[in-house]
Structure 1
Amino acid sequence: MKSLVRQWSVACVFVLADANAVQAVDPTKGESLYEKCHACHAIKQQGVTLGPSLVGIFGRKAGSLEQFRYSPAMRRSSLVWDDATLDSFLTDPQALVPGNRMPFAGMSEKSDRDDLIAYLHKATEQ
């Protein structure tokens, strides 16, 4: 019986640790984080901005909008934008695509990147 209680206690610790490790994304927080991006990137319409429009970004090949002049590094990249590639790019744009022109140092907090990506899903639907 003592062994069963111990096993149950250990199992509870792992369940609680996993529950604490999982954090829900917050698109509302992501919207406020997007304020750092909005000067360069449109999310509601195609248009002239300093950076490429993010409308329809999910599933789009990086460097593929005809109306935007991308860096040669971005045009040559084989990236297709999804949650994983955006997470990597937002972490350190120069590490993922060396020589790209985006003047952004990166976003170190994983939860911030997750919130921003959740917001972009909602805001950039076509």
Structure 2
Amino acid sequence: MFDTMTLTKLLGGFCGAFLVFLLGKFAAETIYHGGGGHGDAHAQGYVIEISSGDDNAVAEEGPSIEELLASADIGKGERVFNKCKACHKLEKGANSTGPYLYGVVGRPVDSAEGYTYSGALEKVADVWTPEHLNGFLTNPGGYAPGTTMGFSGLGKAEDRANVIAFLDSLDD
């Protein structure tokens, strides 16, 4: 069934395909890694400049939370609060995944009736002042490590001020 000529053709075809594969690999390495020796293989194409400023320097901040609260818009705060509705309710005593937020501004931390807290908040604050709420809403996990709140935070200071003003307006 197989004679010598057939086996030679098969072996020649395999060797030819392997040769094309090796040449393609060589060409690809030359194109993508440069034609230099192996010492150049991991050299950067360009240097990324980073600032060498003082790590302890305070970043330039915008207006304080007091200034933002003075000009806060309660209507906008109610719209931003829609992000919070998945886990929090506004009715007193109506806990959900998170504690109810009625009267949260000025309320002692970890004090919503019927809600079991993780204990992480007690380590960073005693009372929910606008300053503490602002810090917590910026980055909950960074502000109170170990908190069970999975929300990533509100990036805009104006949004945080509007939500705090909205929550403060609920209980007069």
TM-score range, shorter chain: 0.7 to 0.9
Q: 1:30 aligns with which of 77, 81, 85?
A: 77
Structure 1 equivalent of residue 127 of structure 2: 80
Would you say 1:49 and 2:96 are equivalent positions? yes
Structure 2 equivalent of residue 90 of structure 1: 137
Q: Structure 1 length as normaliser, TM-score?
A: 0.74
Q: Which runs of 5+ in 1 are unaligned?
A: 1-17
How far 1:73 moved relative to its partner? Answer: 1.5
Structure 2 equivalent of residue 40 of structure 1: 87
Q: Which runs of 5+ in 2 are unaligned?
A: 1-62
Q: Structure 2 length as normaliser, TM-score?
A: 0.55
Which whole-Å deviations, capped at 9, do the CAs of 1:51-85 have from their partners, x for residues lacking one?
00111212222112241011132344433101110
Asked whether the 8 Å contact 2:118–2:147 carries over to 1, the reply is yes
Higher relative contact order (CA 8 A, sep 6+): 1
Structure 1: which 4+ aligned runs deviate by more than 6 Å? none
In structure 2, distance between residues paired with 1:48 and 1:118:
21
Which whole-Å deviations, capped at 9, do the CAs of 1:86-106 have from their partners, x for residues lacking one?
000000111111000001101
Q: Which amino acid aligns with 1:100?
A: T
Q: Summarize the Cα distance change of 1:114–1:48 in structure 2 as closer, same or farther, 3 Å threshold.
A: closer
Structure index of larger Rg: 2
Aligned residues: 105
Matches within 5 A, 1:112-123: 112-123=159-170
> What's the C-alpha RMSD, in Å, of the aligned pairs?
2.1
Q: Which amino acid aligns with 2:155?
A: S
Matches within 5 A, 1:94-113: 94-113=141-160
